[in-house]
Amino acid sequence: MMNKDKFDLHIKITTTNDSNAIKALKTRCQEQGITLTISQLKQAVSKGALWLTRGKHTQRLRRVKKSLIQGDELHFYYNEKVLASEVTAATLVSDEQDYSVWFKPYGMLSQGSKWSDHCTIARFAQLNLIPERAVFIVHRLDRAATGLILIAHSKKATRALSAMFENRNVDKSNLAKYYQIIVHGDHSKNAQPQVISSDVDGKSARSTFTCLAYNKNKDQSLIKVKIDSGRKHQIRIHAASIGLPVVGDRLHGVADESETQDLQLCAVSLSFICPLTDIKKQFELDEHLRPLLIP
């Protein structure tokens, strides 16, 4: 029996009777005994649950009135829990026309899945930039992390900016990314700055930790972090490796109910030589959006 809260439908368009996506979806749902209203279907489509395959190309379909032709295939991925998800709005830090810089809040994804993209920074930027532009992800922040993220608005900008991030150790972009984290323990006792160069997932990784403040009452430290490589969960893994796990890190740090805060890891500064203009760019996150070491 089909799970009515989470399912996928794949519809081959064979007749002109299925002239648009909503009509085709409604017909197939009725055949499967699924009771979704037209309004519910349209809402799911608007949140990115519908894909269209035409020839060799597959992409999300949001235009419910788009005419379909024989040979098209619709792929509908319905997940009630995912579609009901909500996130805090992102904040535009700077609109550079070819790209924009945003503050990504906790819980917002960098990119979507087949089930939806309505909780992503990419979709949020597309809906809220004036004028509206195409959006392309250049680099990523974990769902649980917050901070500065850069979005490109053309394929040319995407290629240039992506190459800048991928080749940070060999090009002349002067790319520098700084983070702030709050960790359990007293980092001020360690050598300052502390360079951590242990491998992450078998790959070389280097992070530089500098203690900014220590709260004795809570036994927590505020640390500035510079990374010279971009391995997945690098900062969290390096922090845990020296016995100072990031507050809120339930994957690499404290994994019990005593950990009640969100992940205290934030990308606070981003600077580089723009590959499109050769102009030095620097973006700093406002203090009120950074991790706060509560007295």
State the Cα–Cα distance between residues 170 and 161, nearest whole angstrom. 14
User: Rounded to 5 degrees, what are φ and ψ at 161?
Assistant: -75, -35
Q: Which of 8, 95, 98, 142 is catalytic?
A: 142
Do 77 and 60 contact (CB within 8 A), yes or no?
Answer: no
Give the residues across from 103 on adjacent strands.
Answer: 91, 148
For residue 238, give every residue at least 6 positions away whose Cβ sits within 8 Å of its Cβ, in sequence order, or none.
Answer: 196, 198, 200, 205, 207, 209
Query: Which token pair is 95?
Result: 């609109």
Distances in Å between the alpha carbon of 212 and those of 80, 145, 263, 268? 43, 19, 18, 14
Query: Distance between CA 44 and CA 83 in Å, rounded?
Result: 7
C-alpha torsion sign, points 145, 147, 152, 157: negative
Task: Copy the structure tokens of residue 6.
Answer: 């989470």
Q: Catalytic residue at 142?
A: yes
Active-site positions read 142
